[in-house]
């Protein structure tokens, strides 16, 4: 690679990295500053007296561990439910040739673009009728309402990239459709499923509006709601704890991406071929 | 300087907690005579804003536990950020389900008056027992059209001047000025010695609205007249805007984007010498900034040409939705929480952050425990409601939510509009809201 080509590669990459990592750097800085340094520092881009007090206070003086577990429970549940439903839906649309399948796939995707701010009142009425208000587990099917459409669309794209000859061969061998779905297509769909899983998990983990509106008691708070209701008190913000909480809250998502990023890219490229 | 220290504060809070929660309360439970016929098997859900000071929530919970002990009615408390209360209460009103009791802000009860339980009996009882409500409290809770109370006024997280005494003296002032002219002179003098003042002029729900409304009313300006006809484009408004522009020029740069949190931070960082705020700055300094704390003083907001205080404060009231299965239990709960046995430790615990709506609580010992707390005792005396001089309701709430008054001041101070143009622009916006 000559010098010019190197610049072309590294300059945009460097700018991109700066843009993406700056918020994390700021979160780390703020979470490690003591209260005096938070307000007054000769150089806001550095920590002169690092302290882990914000982390200790967050974990010992707030219900953060509980919020964390709540978020994990809901995110894992919503992701699992959405992936199962989406895979079944995507398989049916792509492989079972029925009339209106393409229109249905488009309609599913369009349902994803309806913003939650519009949906939350009608959805609330449904929840009241079902008696699901203020039940933490209720967030699992609620989150599925926005996860399933996108995951289905993503998996439709991925399943279309798998050759039909495989299932035709299985059919000739006498396999039933459920068997084909589970034994033949599912193993080949792993990259797409991982991609959809990462996407669902991230969205569930960061969700705020539904968790705020539909949950009532303090025991049911998720990280996003807990941080804003407990650490932002009117005009006094606990910046150190807020950033410590946000930082710890990003770790599961970072870990998931770290281990599965290659599958994620493969899954997304499969979807984009559609 | 006051000798009121942290130890005493903790002792007072603990004493309140003990009195209410642990030791003294069982006697009350044994003798408890409810005012209302509490429904059998009742349980309540309360939605309230997260306390601005942590002792607020703690003491409220202690008082609530005492209520449960006395009546057998369990109460679940949900706390959300104060800016999110309206969304949750709006949803509850819309779907007819949710918390039994909501502690809201400003005109909230007037957005859905037909959906609220009549709490006249509780309010009249408390008025009689504790010397009546301040006028502003009445305007946020009493439905004049139907002649009934739809919200029980709780109190206002009040705003007063918070300043650094040493810097003010260095600027040539022995005490904080009492009128607008004096404020401007002091602000200019403070800027000269490199200790500028700072007032939030962004969309700060509390701090931005507070001082902008106070200035507007202090010059005699008003959003609408008594018949809800838009009256903002007036000579008085333009005078207020000219004054605000002059005051803005003495401020630290950047206040046009400040939210409620920013003036607290700037003050505690030593970047500004004065701001208008709740008692949270003083309280935070007391807990966490011992070097700065002895130099912090508070004072009532200065008075404008109208000749009397024209305060505007956050204000909270409680209301009960008709969908509640236990309206009597809810009313009993609110009554209980407003009785002196509960109100005293609550207000004491949060060092007077919320000034009670009942005049009788002006004699609570906390108000004179430190001179810095005293100004907050009187903030509701000359307090107008939002939408003054019109009636509270959806239009007034919309104007407040849309920051029409704050935006007008920001236009004149920071965005290059002339006072005339800023007032005209605000008038146009208000006409679209009020439809007049």
Same domain, A14 and A129: no
Angle between helices A139-160 and A101-112 (to 10 degrees): 130
CB atoms within 10 A of CB B401: 15
Q: Which of A15, A32, A51 is the last residue of a domain?
A: A51
- State whether residue B398 sits within 8 Å of chain A by CB: no
- State whether residue B325 sits within 8 Å of chain A by CB: no
Across the interface, whether the CB atoms of A216 and B278 are under 8 A apart is answered no
Using DSSP, state whether B255 is helix, strand or coil: helix
Taking the CA of residue A7 and the nearest CA in chain B, the distance in Å comes to: 38
Contact assessment for residue B171 and residue B233, using Cβ atoms and an 8 Å cutoff: no
| Residue-level pLDDT at A271 | 52
Which of these, B391, B398, B310, B434, lies nearest to B142 by C-alpha position? B391
Closest CB from A128, A225, A232 relative to B95:
A128
Contact assessment for residue A235 and residue B277, using Cβ atoms and an 8 Å cutoff: yes
DSSP B176: -
Contact assessment for residue B425 and residue B224, using Cβ atoms and an 8 Å cutoff: no
Cα B209 from Cα B260, distance rounded (Å): 10
Check pLDDT > 80 for residue A180: yes
Across the interface, whether the CB atoms of A235 and B264 are under 8 A apart is answered yes
Q: Supply B131's token pair.
A: 């010397």
* CB < 8 Å to B263, chain A: 235
C-alpha angle B57-B58-B62 in degrees, rounded to nearest 5: 115
Check pLDDT > 50 for residue B139: yes
DSSP B321: B
| Residue-level pLDDT at B22 | 38
Check pLDDT > 80 for residue B419: yes
CB atoms within 10 A of CB A106: 12
Same domain, A11 and A72: no
Across the interface, whether the CB atoms of A229 and B94 are under 8 A apart is answered no
Express each pLDDT in A105-121 by its tens digit.
888 878 888 888 888 88
Closest CB from A213, A229, A237 relative to B79:
A229
- What's the half-sphere exposure (Cβ side, CA atoms, 13 Å) at B39? 13
| Residue-level pLDDT at A229 | 86
Contact assessment for residue B297 and residue B274, using Cβ atoms and an 8 Å cutoff: no
| pLDDT more than 70, % of chain B | 93
- CATH number for the domain spanning A75: value is 1.10.3720.10
CB atoms within 10 A of CB B158: 26
| Residue-level pLDDT at A270 | 58
Q: Which of A35, A51, A67 is the last residue of a domain?
A: A51
Same domain, A27 and A98: no
Same domain, A164 and A214: yes
Q: How confident is the model at residue B386 (pLDDT cuts 50, 70, 90)?
A: very high
* CB < 8 Å to B269, chain A: 39-40
With CA atoms as reference, the chain A residue closest to B260 would be A235
Taking the CA of residue A63 and the nearest CA in chain B, the distance in Å comes to: 14
| Residue-level pLDDT at B19 | 39
Check pLDDT > 80 for residue B25: no
- State whether residue B158 sits within 8 Å of chain A by CB: no
Check pLDDT > 70 for residue A74: yes
Check pLDDT > 80 for residue A2: no
Size of interface A-B (CB pairs under 8 A): 83
Same domain, A35 and A125: no
Mean pLDDT of B415-419: 95
Domains with residue ranges and CATH for chain B:
6-156+315-372 (3.40.190.10), 160-312+402-434 (3.40.190.10)
| Residue-level pLDDT at A267 | 64
* CB < 8 Å to B264, chain A: 235-236
Same domain, A92 and A126: yes
Mean pLDDT of A48-64: 93
Same domain, A36 and A137: no
| Chain B contact probe: residue of A62, A209, A229, A236 with most B CBs at under 10 A | A236
Peptide bond into B171 cis (omega under 30): no
Q: How many domains does chain A have?
A: 2
| Chain A contact probe: residue of B60, B95, B158, B159 with most A CBs at under 10 A | B95
Mean pLDDT of B214-229: 96
- What's the half-sphere exposure (Cβ side, CA atoms, 13 Å) at B385? 30
Express each pLDDT in B340-355 by its tens digit.
999 999 999 999 999 9
| Residue-level pLDDT at B436 | 67
Taking the CA of residue A236 and the nearest CA in chain B, the distance in Å comes to: 6
C-alpha angle B265-B268-B272 in degrees, rounded to nearest 5: 85
* CB < 8 Å to A133, chain B: 97-98
Check pLDDT > 70 for residue B264: yes
Same domain, A176 and A203: yes
- State whether residue B389 sits within 8 Å of chain A by CB: no
- Residue B275, φ and ψ in degrees, nearest 5: -155, 175
Check pLDDT > 80 for residue B3: no
Cα B224 from Cα B399, distance rounded (Å): 11
Same domain, A157 and A250: yes
Which residue range forms the structural domain that includes residue A115? Answer: 55-272
Contact assessment for residue B38 and residue A218, using Cβ atoms and an 8 Å cutoff: no
Q: Which one is predicted more confidently, B429 or B1?
A: B429
- State whether residue A235 sits within 8 Å of chain B by CB: yes
Mean pLDDT of B88-106: 91
Cα B207 from Cα B152, distance rounded (Å): 24
Contact assessment for residue B384 and residue B213, using Cβ atoms and an 8 Å cutoff: yes
Same domain, A97 and A33: no
Residue window 182-241, chain B: list those with CB within 8 Å of chain A. 206-207
Taking the CA of residue A37 and the nearest CA in chain B, the distance in Å comes to: 9
Q: How confident is the model at residue B24 (pLDDT cuts 50, 70, 90)?
A: very low
Same domain, A45 and A90: no
Check pLDDT > 50 for residue B331: yes
- State whether residue B50 sits within 8 Å of chain A by CB: yes
Same domain, A135 and A27: no
Cα A234 from Cα A236, distance rounded (Å): 6
């Amino acid at each position: 690679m000559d010098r010019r080509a190197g610049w072309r590669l590294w300059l945009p990459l460097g700018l991109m990295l700066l843009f993406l990592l700056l918020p994390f750097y700021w979160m780390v800085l703020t979470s490690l500053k003591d209260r005096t340094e938070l307000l007054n520092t000769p150089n806001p881009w550095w920590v002169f007296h690092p302290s882990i007090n914000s982390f200790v206070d967050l974990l010992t003086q707030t219900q953060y561990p509980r919020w964390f577990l709540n978020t994990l429970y809901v995110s894992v549940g919503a992701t699992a439910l959405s992936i199962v439903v989406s895979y079944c839906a995507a398989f049916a649309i792509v492989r079972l040739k029925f009339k209106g399948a393409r229109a249905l796939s488009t309609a599913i995707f369009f349902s994803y673009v309806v913003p939650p701010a519009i949906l939350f009142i009608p959805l609330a009425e449904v929840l009241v009728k079902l008696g699901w208000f203020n039940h933490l587990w209720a967030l699992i099917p609620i989150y599925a309402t926005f996860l399933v459409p996108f995951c289905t669309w993503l998996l439709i794209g991925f399943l279309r990239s798998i050759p039909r000859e495989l299932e035709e061969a299985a059919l000739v061998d006498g396999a039933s459709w459920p068997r084909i779905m589970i034994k033949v297509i599912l193993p080949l769909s792993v990259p797409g499923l991982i991609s959809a899983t990462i996407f669902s998990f991230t969205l569930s983990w960061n969700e705020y509006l539904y968790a705020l509106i539909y949950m009532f008691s303090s025991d049911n708070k998720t990280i996003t709601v807990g941080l804003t209701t407990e650490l932002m008190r009117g005009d006094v913000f606990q910046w150190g704890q807020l950033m410590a909480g946000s930082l710890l809250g990003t770790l599961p998502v970072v870990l998931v991406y770290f281990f599965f990023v290659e599958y994620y890219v493969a899954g997304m490229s499969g979807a984009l071929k559609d | 300087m006051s000798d009121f220290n942290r130890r005493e504060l903790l002792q007072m809070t603990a004493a309140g907690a003990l009195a209410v929660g642990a030791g003294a309360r069982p006697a009350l439970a044994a003798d408890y005579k409810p005012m209302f016929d509490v429904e059998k098997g009742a349980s309540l859900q309360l939605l309230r804003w997260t306390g601005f000071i942590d002792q607020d929530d703690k003491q409220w919970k202690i008082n609530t536990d005492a209520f449960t002990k006395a009546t057998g009615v369990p109460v679940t408390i949900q706390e959300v950020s104060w800016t999110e209360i309206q969304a949750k209460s709006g949803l509850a009103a819309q779907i007819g389900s949710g918390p039994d009791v909501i502690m809201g802000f400003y005109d909230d009860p007037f957005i859905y008056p037909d959906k609220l339980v009549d709490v006249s009996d509780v309010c009249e009882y408390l008025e009689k027992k504790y010397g009546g409500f301040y006028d502003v409290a009445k305007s946020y809770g009493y439905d004049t059209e139907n002649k009934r109370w739809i919200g029980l006024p709780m109190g206002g997280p009040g705003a007063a001047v918070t300043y650094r005494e040493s810097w003010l003296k260095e600027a040539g002032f022995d005490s904080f000025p009492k009128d607008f002219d004096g404020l401007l002179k002091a602000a200019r003098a403070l800027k000269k010695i490199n200790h500028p003042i700072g007032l939030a002029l962004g969309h700060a729900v509390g701090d931005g609205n507070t001082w902008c409304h106070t200035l507007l009313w202090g010059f005699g300006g008003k959003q609408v007249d008594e018949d809800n006809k838009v009256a903002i484009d007036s000579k008085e408004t333009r005078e207020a805007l000219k004054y605000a522009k002059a005051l803005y020029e003495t401020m630290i740069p950047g206040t046009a984007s400040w939210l409620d949190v920013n003036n607290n931070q700037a003050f505690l960082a030593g970047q500004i010498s004065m701001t208008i705020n709740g008692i949270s700055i003083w309280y935070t300094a007391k807990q966490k900034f011992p070097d700065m704390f002895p130099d912090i003083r508070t004072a009532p907001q200065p008075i404008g040409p109208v000749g009397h205080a024209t305060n505007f404060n956050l204000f909270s009231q409680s209301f009960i939705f008709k969908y509640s299965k236990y309206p009597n239990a809810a009313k009993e709960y609110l009554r209980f929480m407003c009785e002196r046995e509960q109100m005293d430790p609550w207000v004491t615990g949060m060092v007077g952050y919320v000034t009670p709506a009942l005049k009788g609580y002006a004699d609570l010992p906390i108000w004179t425990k430190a001179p810095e707390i005293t100004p907050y005792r009187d903030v509701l005396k000359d307090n107008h409601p939002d939408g003054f001089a019109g009636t509270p309701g959806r239009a007034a709430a919309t104007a407040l939510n849309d920051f029409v008054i704050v935006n007008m001041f920001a236009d004149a101070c920071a965005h290059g509009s002339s006072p005339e143009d800023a007032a005209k622009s605000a008038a146009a916006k208000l006409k679209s809201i009020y439809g007049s």
